[in-house]
A = this chain, B = another copy of it.
Amino acid sequence: MNFRIAVIPGDGIGPEIVTEAMKILDRVGAVYGHTFTYKKLLMGGASIDVHGVPLTEETLAEAKNSDSVLLGAVGGNVGNSRWYDGAPETRPEAGLLGIRKGLELFANIRPAWLYKELADACPLKKEIVGDGFDMVIMRELTGGLYFGERHTRVENGVRKATDTLVYDENEIRRIAVKAFEIAGKRSGKLISVDKANVLDSSRLWRAVVEETAKEYPDVAVSHMLVDNCAMQLVLSPGQFDVVLTENMFGDILSDEASEITGSIGMLPSASLGETKLGLYEPSHGSAPDIAGKDTANPIATILSAAMMLRYSFDLDEEADAVEAAVQKVLTEGFRTGDIYSEGCRRVGTREMGSLIADRI
């Protein structure tokens, strides 16, 4: 089969880690008889440098026209980059928001699990972690405060800023359906997170999740308030399997969940819509400080490519092979600097990519 992938290296370590993910895809192609053709696109700071804007219409059109999108990372150091001089719509991260909305990628899937080999890096105590944890945060990605109307006005000489949190039942239902489906394939346990004791949007969220639940009698659904969830993640991460939540809460909770694994450099993500076209990117950022040094960990991006094989191309066997190869290099003791511990073998970005490719 032939798959056309839009590749957006982005900024910082983006180009390096994306190169390793392509190395892996090429290896998968060679072994399993597929062709992956890449179309490189600019986004974020890289696009600002060339086009003056973080995302052009052409880039969005090319992405739409591909079978799937692989993204490195966007953004720079806010304090010392020209990219941040202008209005928010002109900054690197606006490209990310623009492509999510433009491709209607409403479901952000962020797994957070504890790697047995890297358990020592987990900031939580052994007693808390127990046998480890393995959860998926499902974050709504194209609604809520991120995309509601906003404005800043001067009223009677006083500056006043407004953002709007809007959800309609269809936006809630489509992500709820995805969450129930994923929960059904996993442990059958779904926790929906909201702030229903305060927000109207949360009360509608909860009602629609309850309605959707009727179609999935095998999934046990419960509701948790967002403040409580922020506590429970630290107190007992093992209680979570699939967590469903709206855009802003998901932003906060998915980052908290990644961090409690202690190895955010290992965590992939997928952003999906109604079609097979998805956007796949590591959970970590662009780490401008270590860019170009061949030290970044490419594994999160490589595992994002594996998610692409699985969700966009239905190549489950190939995805399994990539994940197994990653597991193998870990078991063999290879580590990039961010996950290095005594007694392991330290390797750079490129070598890590090659080691994984060799094991497919």
**Chain A residues proximal to chain B, CB less than 8 Å:** 88, 91, 93, 97, 122-125, 128, 145-146, 148, 150-152, 155, 158-170, 195-201, 203-205, 208, 226-228, 230-231, 233-235, 248-249, 251-253, 255-256, 258-260, 264
Contacts and interface: CB of A to CB of B under 8 A. Distances in A.
Interface centre among A88, A146, A150, A198 (most CB of B within 10 A): A198
A354 to B, nearest CB: 30
A264 to B, nearest CB: 8
Interface centre among A91, A145, A155 (most CB of B within 10 A): A145
B124 A200 contact: no
| 3 residue pairs, one from A and one from B, having the closest CB atoms | A161-B204, A231-B259, A160-B168
A125 B201 CA distance: 37
A204 B152 CA distance: 8
A8 B148 CA distance: 39
B165 A163 contact: yes
B158 A162 contact: no
A259 B122 CA distance: 17
B159 A204 contact: yes
A124 to B, nearest CB: 6
A235 B166 contact: no
30 contacts: A88-B198, A91-B197, A122-B125, A123-B235, A124-B124, A124-B234, A145-B165, A145-B198, A145-B199, A152-B203, A159-B204, A159-B208, A160-B166, A160-B169, A161-B200, A161-B204, A162-B164, A162-B165, A163-B164, A163-B165, A163-B199, A163-B201, A195-B248, A195-B251, A227-B251, A230-B256, A231-B258, A231-B259, A231-B264, A235-B259
Contact of A203 (B88, B200, B233): B88
A119 to B, nearest CB: 11
A198 B251 CA distance: 11
